[in-house]
Amino acid sequence: MRIVFYPLIVLVPALLLGACQPKAADKTPEPQAAPLAHPASDAPSPHAMDPHANAPASAMAPHGGTPHPVTPEEEQAAAHGKMDVSSSAKKGSTVVPPEVQGKWKAATFIIVDRERSGAEEVIIPLGGHHDLDGGKLRISAIEFLPDLRIDNNIYTSMSNDPNNPASRVVITEGGKEVFDGWLFAEFPQVHKFEHPRFGITLKEGVPN
């Protein structure tokens, strides 16, 4: 009997070839984990975003302008009362205590003439005036308080002792008012009179 083997020979290589071929990779993407949310404590604080949030009140400027630091003279002057130390402070109202009324008759001022590089002391009676530059500049002494105290924009004197002398003056130039405010003997840089030629500061009061 004759046995034929060729069908088996053909099938074996085919099976071996199929076993050697790599399986197709699973292309299904793995699910990715959702990003963790930042805790509430990591959120930026409103104060961190506001550059003026922690700024001191004395350095703040209105309407977001450039901060204007308070000078040492203004801080010392403010210690004498609830004083508005801003450059736009109004002169307010004046209350002269009975123990001060009629006790002072004049005020002494130091006048510096920058053109002549000289300075002089001038006594101006309360209610009187002194002329400079041939009458073009006039200084009028309105009031004098020996121990100035400013409370809620009211100017008064704590005593009749010259502890904090101040005088209200009105200055005109060419007939036009250019200054109406208080000059402080202890703090000459606070609300000083600005002029290209003349410097005017208060020295002291003149008692009766």
What pLDDT score does 41 carry? 44
What pLDDT score does 33 carry? 53
What pLDDT score does 51 carry? 35
Collect all residues with Cβ–Cβ distance below 8 Å to 150 and sequence separation of at least 6: 80, 81, 82, 83, 84, 92, 156
Q: Give the max Cα distance, the chain.
A: 162
Of residues 38 and 99, the one with the higher pLDDT is 99
Q: What are the pLDDT digits (tens) for 151-195?
A: 988 999 999 999 999 999 999 999 999 999 999 999 999 889 999
User: pLDDT band for position 92 (50/70/90)?
Assistant: confident
Q: Any idea how long the chain is?
A: 208
- Residue 78, pLDDT > 60, answer no
Of residues 54 and 119, the one with the higher pLDDT is 119
Pairing of strands 118-125, 129-132: unpaired
- In angstroms, the CA 10 to CA 173 distance is 126
Helix (H) or strand (E) holding 108: strand 104-113
What pLDDT score does 28 carry? 53
Where are the chain's structural domains? 93-207
What pLDDT score does 77 carry? 52
Q: Is 78 exposed, middle or buried (0-12, 13-18, 19+ CB in 10 A)?
A: middle
> What average pLDDT score do residues 126-141 get?
97
Of residues 132 and 90, the one with the higher pLDDT is 132
Rounded to two decimals, the pTM is 0.59
Q: What are the pLDDT digits (tens) for 2-37?
A: 555 545 444 444 444 554 455 554 555 555 555 554
